[in-house]
Chains A and B, each alone.
Chain A
Amino acid sequence: MAERRGAMSARLRENGTAWLFVLPGLIPLVAFLYWPLGQAFGLSFFQWNLLGEPRFVGLLQYERLLASSTFHQSLLVTLVYTVGVSVTAYALSLGTAVLLNRAWRAVRFVRTVSLLPAIIPMVVAGVVWKFIFEPTGGLANQTLSVFGIDGPAWLQHPVWALPAVMLVSVWKDFGIYMLVLLGGLQGIPKEIDEAAAIDGANGWQRFWRVKFPMLGAANLFVLVLLIFNAFKVFDQVWVMTEGGPGNATLTIITFLYTRLLTDVGFAAAGTTALFLLVLIPLTLQLLARRKADR
């Protein structure tokens, strides 16, 4: 009996110690992340401009959101942006990873330079690329003029502004995805590649039939990340175009950002919708992983 009580109190003490370790960090995590997350959901049922009392309006904000043609526009822009950036960045990072998966001395240098864009603040990337996209004299149009092409006023052009912003996102992060895919490629045992070569497969076949399928986990991780990051894009858009010209680059967060502090309930409904959108790629990954485990 006494022994059991001793074990009990040891367990209690262990619990107490563990929570003493956990609490200093858990409190800010809950206070500054989970509590606001719950609030964001709750506020979406209210009408409020930060002054006075919030007024309960039921689902009105979601109805406004669904009826707002500007929100529809922002969904469309975000979708085009997501597909465009994901496809381009994925192709570029996979290509670079394959290119760098060899024992050349230059590889380290190329890898370092590819990672430089990833480490700098997004605001700086936006500012610098805005300068590069200057209609006359900017690096982009000077380069194009070498090939005899008369480039547009990128960021002021209703059609070209979005691709221009997308290019910046690809430039900024392709190095990270390349790194993940390169890690995947380097994890494939050499013997498998050699065996396929002995069986007479050429380089192209060896890549697509043998190595590419073995990249499964890395591929999935990169695609989920690409979509996840694309849905919530904001900094570069805000710095380069503020959503313009004429809403051509108005992504979801760019749209909501101007209303955050004036139309709180509406913005909260919008961010809740975004949160649900973000859950899609994450759920896909979970499902895929479960399938792989089985």
Chain B
Amino acid sequence: MTAATVVRRTLAILAMGAIVVFAGAPFVWMLLASFQPLPNLLGAQMDVFAFGDATLDNYVRVVTDRGYVQWFANSALVCVVVVAANLVFDSLIAYPLARMRFAGQRVVLLLVIAAIMIPAQVILVPLYIQMRDLGWLDSYLALIAPYVVSPTGIFLLRQTFVTLPKELDEAAFIDGASRLRVLWSVLIPNSLAMYGTLAVLKFMWTWGEFAWPSLAVNSASLRTIPVGLAGMRSQFATEWDLLMAGSVLAILPVVILFAFLQRYFVAGLTSGAVKG
């Protein structure tokens, strides 16, 4: 190994170390802080490394005093329903777009693709008015309805279905299968990787959704985790102990999923880089 190679390798290792520190340090800092009593998190006394003072008290209090269990349950319910609805509705639209020829097909495909580009922020006001007129404001319906179908999801599934050989469908048709049957027992089982990607992506997005849920619900009992956390921040500006414990709990589900399903996250983050 020449001296130049050694230098280059050392530099690469240092650079990788710097990236790991940059990306990871905030997580470590948050985790350490979440176990510290409030006085250790304020101003000049700040000391997240005071392991002698470490306590689970922050977690106990954020769960018992601040309605965290309710927020967590709300977020989980919304996410599960949204992901399930997406897998169904997105598949149903993707199927004829990939496999059939029908009047209006181009228009539907165009509507789906163009929808990926519409920033959610643009429709906040009219969505609020619409939900108010429907009487859905301040209910689970307002938190769920706008997310039940995903243009990104439809598009990704359609692209996946198109790559599957048509002979698979035809063999099933000869056996007398209906179109729904073909979708269910031929196309879906052959696209499971994309379904995993889609479920993970949609879960991650819905779990983090903030602007709309904070407009859509007023009752404390309907808050999702991001809405609840943001509310704590403005109400009790310096309760860093509870905020850090709450933040750790908020990222736990996505981090656990990420640990087990990293492959799907990687696929999802690249193919679904435009949120929609």
Contact surface of A with B, Cβ cutoff 8 Å: 14-15, 17-19, 21-22, 24-26, 28-37, 39-40, 43, 50, 95-96, 99-100, 102, 106, 109-110, 112-132, 134-139, 142, 171, 174-176, 179-180, 183, 221, 225, 228, 231-232, 234-235, 238-239, 253, 257, 260-261, 264, 267-268, 271-272, 274-275, 278-279, 282
Residues in A with CB closer than 8 Å to B125 are: 39-40, 43, 260-261, 264, 267-268, 271
Residues in A with CB closer than 8 Å to B24 are: 113, 116
Query: Once bound together, how far apart are the Cα atoms of A112 and B254, in whole Å?
Result: 13
Contact of B46 (CB < 8 Å), options: A22, A24, A136, A253: A136
Known contacts A25-B92, A117-B23, A253-B121, A34 near B126 by CB under 8 Å: no
Contact surface of B with A, Cβ cutoff 8 Å: 12-13, 15-16, 19-20, 22-27, 29-30, 33, 41-47, 88-90, 92-93, 95-97, 100-105, 108, 111-112, 115, 117-130, 132, 145-146, 148-149, 151, 154, 179, 204, 207-208, 210-211, 215, 225-226, 229-230, 233, 240, 243-244, 247, 250-251, 254-255, 258, 262, 265-266, 269-270, 273-274
Known contacts A131-B30, A139-B26, A124 near B151 by CB under 8 Å: no
Distance of B208 from chain A, by nearest CB (Å): 3
Query: Once bound together, how far apart are the Cα atoms of A255 and B6, in whole Å?
Result: 52
Residues in A with CB closer than 8 Å to B23 are: 113-114, 116-117, 171, 174-175
Do residues A260 and B215 form an inter-chain contact, with CB atoms below 8 A? yes
Residues in B with CB closer than 8 Å to A134 are: 43, 46, 240
Do residues B230 and A32 form an inter-chain contact, with CB atoms below 8 A? no
Do residues A239 and B115 form an inter-chain contact, with CB atoms below 8 A? no
Known contacts A25-B149, A29-B149, A228 near B247 by CB under 8 Å: no
Do residues A274 and B29 form an inter-chain contact, with CB atoms below 8 A? no
- The chain B residue sitting closest to A240, CB to CB, is B233
Known contacts A17-B179, A22-B92, A278-B117, A112 near B250 by CB under 8 Å: no
Q: Can you name 8 A-B residue pairings with CB atoms under 8 Å? A: A40-B123, A109-B20, A115-B262, A115-B266, A116-B255, A121-B250, A123-B229, A239-B233
Contact of A39 (CB < 8 Å), options: B19, B27, B130, B215: B130
Known contacts A39-B129, A139-B29, A239-B230, A275 near B149 by CB under 8 Å: no
Distance of B50 from chain A, by nearest CB (Å): 12
Do residues A18 and B123 form an inter-chain contact, with CB atoms below 8 A? no
Residues in B with CB closer than 8 Å to A114 are: 19-20, 23
Do residues A18 and B100 form an inter-chain contact, with CB atoms below 8 A? yes
Query: Once bound together, how far apart are the Cα atoms of A36 and B131, in whole Å?
Result: 11
Known contacts A225-B273, A260-B128, A29 near B46 by CB under 8 Å: no
Among B210, B251, B254, B266, residue most surrounded by chain A Cβ atoms (within 10 Å)? B210
**How many Cβ-Cβ contacts under 8 Å join chain A to chain B?**
268
Residues in A with CB closer than 8 Å to B149 are: 25-26, 28-29
Residues in A with CB closer than 8 Å to B111 are: 26, 29-30, 34
Query: Once bound together, how far apart are the Cα atoms of A29 and B132, in whole Å?
Result: 18
Distance of A225 from chain B, by nearest CB (Å): 5
Do residues B100 and A113 form an inter-chain contact, with CB atoms below 8 A? no
Supply 9 further A-B pairs (C-beta < 8 A) apart from A100-B16, A121-B226, A124-B226: A25-B149, A39-B130, A50-B129, A117-B23, A127-B247, A137-B43, A171-B26, A179-B269, A272-B122
Known contacts A26-B111, A39-B130, A119-B204, A124 near B100 by CB under 8 Å: no
Query: Once bound together, how far apart are the Cα atoms of A267 and B128, in whole Å?
Result: 13
Distance of A255 from chain B, by nearest CB (Å): 12
Query: Once bound together, how far apart are the Cα atoms of A34 and B24, in whole Å?
Result: 39
Do residues A43 and B126 form an inter-chain contact, with CB atoms below 8 A? yes
Query: Once bound together, how far apart are the Cα atoms of A95 and B42, in whole Å?
Result: 36
Query: Once bound together, how far apart are the Cα atoms of A176 and B111, in whole Å?
Result: 26
Distance of B86 from chain A, by nearest CB (Å): 9
Do residues A26 and B93 form an inter-chain contact, with CB atoms below 8 A? yes
Do residues A128 and B26 form an inter-chain contact, with CB atoms below 8 A? yes
Distance of B107 from chain A, by nearest CB (Å): 10
Do residues B119 and A110 form an inter-chain contact, with CB atoms below 8 A? no
Known contacts A26-B93, A39-B130, A99-B16, A119 near B254 by CB under 8 Å: yes
Query: Once bound together, how far apart are the Cα atoms of A235 and B125, in whole Å?
Result: 16
Distance of A22 from chain B, by nearest CB (Å): 5
Distance of A241 from chain B, by nearest CB (Å): 11
Do residues B19 and A96 form an inter-chain contact, with CB atoms below 8 A? yes
Query: Once bound together, how far apart are the Cα atoms of A253 and B130, in whole Å?
Result: 20
Contact of B90 (CB < 8 Å), options: A25, A115, A234, A271: A25
Do residues A25 and B154 form an inter-chain contact, with CB atoms below 8 A? yes
Known contacts A15-B102, A127-B229, A278-B119, A121 near B251 by CB under 8 Å: yes
Distance of A107 from chain B, by nearest CB (Å): 8
Known contacts A134-B46, A260-B124, A99 near B15 by CB under 8 Å: yes
- The chain B residue sitting closest to A277, CB to CB, is B119
Distance of A184 from chain B, by nearest CB (Å): 10
